[in-house]
Chains A and B, each alone.
Chain A
């Protein structure tokens, strides 16, 4: 009999990035790398487990922006080009490393994976990997939930209830179209919580969402089961689950978690930092000389000094993966055993992870997850569960008001608001106000004006993404992120000014609709105040 439960929540999200011309934005590789390194290998693993009748239950958040990109035919074709260029590079790598057997073995392994990815992507999924997720959901192996349409950071939109509703409405509409189901759960981007969202979610028939620990501990009272059982949020009837911090450390920490083990492959060292531009090709080295990772990485986490690096040996990791999977389950079971002395119902441990931790950064992460799922399948003490199942099995009547919180540093908002990018908010709020003004000023427009208004709504939502301030703060692709915000704001303002002059620039509108082509059924009335 289950003594405790485990919710694995894998968060799949990227901001919407689509250039007008192929090869224009190196940042399109965020999506390509995610599909190649995480989503396709993860789908293979889940299908394999399903075929072998290994029971598992994983909750996936697939954000509306990511789902829209995965379903976009232009981006699908660009992903095939990405695979082709990586396969060509792989063939060259097999040749180049012929005199170094250890590296040669790795080059062949990467090439084989790329070829398998291409076969799966084209033949198995017909270029749309959402079909793979849909099939697993149909089989009851995964449960897909949604998040705000463009992943906005909720605490900054507290005074913009109409916009929050527009974000939720668009998210659910997109989810329903893409996954043929209405989501029961909701992922608050960056776990950003502010009082009041529960009422909005209740209106849209969402049953539960997830929060960071601050929300539970600094709320109206410390819940009687601590963070290990969901609570009803105020009087909304919506439940909140709280994430477990310790299990984040095991998986997310390079220094103290499993991924930093010396046997595992190192993420940062890539041949694109070493070899000639001509050899690597224009898909790796961009016209301005900047380089993206190629995926060909030959070293393990041996040492931070390059000279001491050891060539990665995949033959040595199986035992390590197994021991890390066992350790994870051991620690969680130990936690459950201790918790049972305090809780009035079987504790539920919530483990949310960004899906790209697995495969993309922690190369062996997907194998680790597979091993954990296999071990859990044979375990009756710690049982995988979906959030809605836990709610159905356990009476969770405790009503609590939660506190402002996020998964950011310190648990608050600093990662999405600091001096490097605070200028964006005055523009984002300005166009949000103007969008509401447009929706009220044009209550019943048709034809070209309606198209323009719908696209204005799209641009207003896109500008609100939490990813851009986060990226600006991280410094990774800060100029690009700034450019994206400026582009969305400027696109919006062009439509606003055109409509104010009673005109629409049809040619420009068509071009920009093709570029920012998500949410095809958006209706600008969602912004009506």
Chain B
């Protein structure tokens, strides 16, 4: 963000931008202080976003980063006017430990969901099935009618998950919608899961995590955390 860009804005627009950036007490600041604070906030936010990016993500970001100034949006954001005709719940995998769930109510389910929510009986039922041994289970997450999304922790890797949006009634559970199914990936090679041991140095070579630098044993940090499982006891040290 350049000073030039901010200097071209009115004081009220600067306050809007400062508020968007989470700057507190911005209404009481002098114009120049406000501009400096906004520049700092943008820089901090940029560095924070870049901090954890791996090389590939950084390289993709760079092709879009042709601006001297971050884009400022001073208009009130328009809303999309869509009607969701049927109740729906969808689950998306974020990483092996987390999934994103969102849901909608169709016209007919709306009233029932609202009523259930008042009695804390509106639930996301998270079904889990272990792919290796077929064991099944579930757990419930109470949700409010006003909510329409959750990030949920996935307790186990190598399991299939799906969600039911449920009204828990005295007469029995009423399922409003059933989601798609996702599989939480393993964070470890299946060879190890099967109890087969792997030669550590062979594995490092074949996984391509050896040889970043001369004399590198590959156990250092790398952008994709591929070698996090190297600490498992199933990997024996090579010669």
- Enumerate chain A interface residues (CB-CB to B < 8 A): 14, 26, 29-30, 33-34, 155-156, 158-159, 195, 212-214, 217-223, 225-228, 242, 244-246, 248-249, 252-254, 257, 267, 270, 272-273, 277, 288-293, 331, 334-335, 338-339, 342-343, 353-354, 356-357, 360-361, 403-405, 407-415, 417-419, 422, 425-427, 429-431, 470-471, 473-480, 482, 486, 489-490, 493
Residues of the A chain whose Cβ atoms lie less than 8 Å from the Cβ of B208: 213, 226-228, 242, 244-246
A62 to chain B, nearest CB (A): 15
- Tell me the complex Cα distance, A115–B183, Å: 54
Residues of the B chain whose Cβ atoms lie less than 8 Å from the Cβ of A33: 66
- Tell me the complex Cα distance, A476–B69, Å: 9
| A228 touching B206, Cβ below 8 Å | yes
Further 5 A-B residue pairs, CB within 8 A, beyond A403-B186, A404-B183: A217-B207, A218-B187, A219-B190, A252-B59, A476-B67
Residues of the B chain whose Cβ atoms lie less than 8 Å from the Cβ of A405: 185
- Tell me the complex Cα distance, A273–B225, Å: 37
Residues of the B chain whose Cβ atoms lie less than 8 Å from the Cβ of A214: 185, 224, 226
Contact with A along B128-157 (1 / 0, CB 8 A): 000000000000000000001101000000
Residues of the B chain whose Cβ atoms lie less than 8 Å from the Cβ of A158: 180, 182
Residues of the B chain whose Cβ atoms lie less than 8 Å from the Cβ of A253: 55, 58
- Tell me the complex Cα distance, A30–B61, Å: 12
CB-contacts of B55-74 with A (<8 A): 55-73
| A26 touching B67, Cβ below 8 Å | yes
Question: A476 touches which one: B4, B70, B189, B207 (CB < 8 A)?
Answer: B70
| B63 touching A356, Cβ below 8 Å | yes
B93 to chain A, nearest CB (A): 6
A179 to chain B, nearest CB (A): 22
| A475 touching B46, Cβ below 8 Å | yes
Q: Is B45 an interface residue (CB 8 A)?
A: yes
| B206 touching A425, Cβ below 8 Å | no
| B71 touching A478, Cβ below 8 Å | yes
| A222 touching B92, Cβ below 8 Å | no
| B210 touching A338, Cβ below 8 Å | yes
| A361 touching B52, Cβ below 8 Å | no
Residues of the B chain whose Cβ atoms lie less than 8 Å from the Cβ of A272: 68
Residues of the A chain whose Cβ atoms lie less than 8 Å from the Cβ of B169: none
Total interface residues on B, using CB and 8 Å?
A: 75
Residues of the B chain whose Cβ atoms lie less than 8 Å from the Cβ of A291: 2, 4-5, 67-69
- Tell me the complex Cα distance, A405–B77, Å: 34
Residues of the B chain whose Cβ atoms lie less than 8 Å from the Cβ of A404: 93, 183, 185
Question: A360 touches which one: B49, B62, B182 (CB < 8 A)?
Answer: B62
| A430 touching B226, Cβ below 8 Å | no
| B93 touching A277, Cβ below 8 Å | no
Closest residue to A284 on the B side, CB-wise? B68
| A486 touching B78, Cβ below 8 Å | yes
| A252 touching B58, Cβ below 8 Å | yes
| A270 touching B77, Cβ below 8 Å | no
| A361 touching B63, Cβ below 8 Å | yes
CB-contacts of B79-126 with A (<8 A): 80-82, 84, 88, 90, 92-96, 100, 102, 104
Q: Is B39 an interface residue (CB 8 A)?
A: no
A-B contact pairs, 9 of them (CB 8 A): A30-B64, A245-B223, A249-B212, A339-B205, A343-B206, A354-B59, A412-B96, A427-B80, A477-B71
Closest residue to A160 on the B side, CB-wise? B180
CB-contacts of B6-20 with A (<8 A): 8-9
A213-B226, A427-B82 are known contacts. Are A474 and B49 too (CB-CB below 8 A)?
A: yes
- Tell me the complex Cα distance, A430–B182, Å: 19
Q: What 5 A-B pairs have minimum CB-CB distances, sorted nearest first?
A: A226-B206, A252-B55, A479-B73, A159-B180, A289-B8
Residues of the A chain whose Cβ atoms lie less than 8 Å from the Cβ of B186: 218, 403
- Tell me the complex Cα distance, A356–B63, Å: 6
Question: B94 touches which one: A254, A417, A429 (CB < 8 A)?
Answer: A417
A257-B55, A415-B57 are known contacts. Are A289 and B9 too (CB-CB below 8 A)?
A: yes
Residues of the B chain whose Cβ atoms lie less than 8 Å from the Cβ of A195: 183
| B211 touching A361, Cβ below 8 Å | no
Residues of the A chain whose Cβ atoms lie less than 8 Å from the Cβ of B57: 407-409, 415
B233 to chain A, nearest CB (A): 17
Residues of the A chain whose Cβ atoms lie less than 8 Å from the Cβ of B80: 427, 486, 489-490, 493
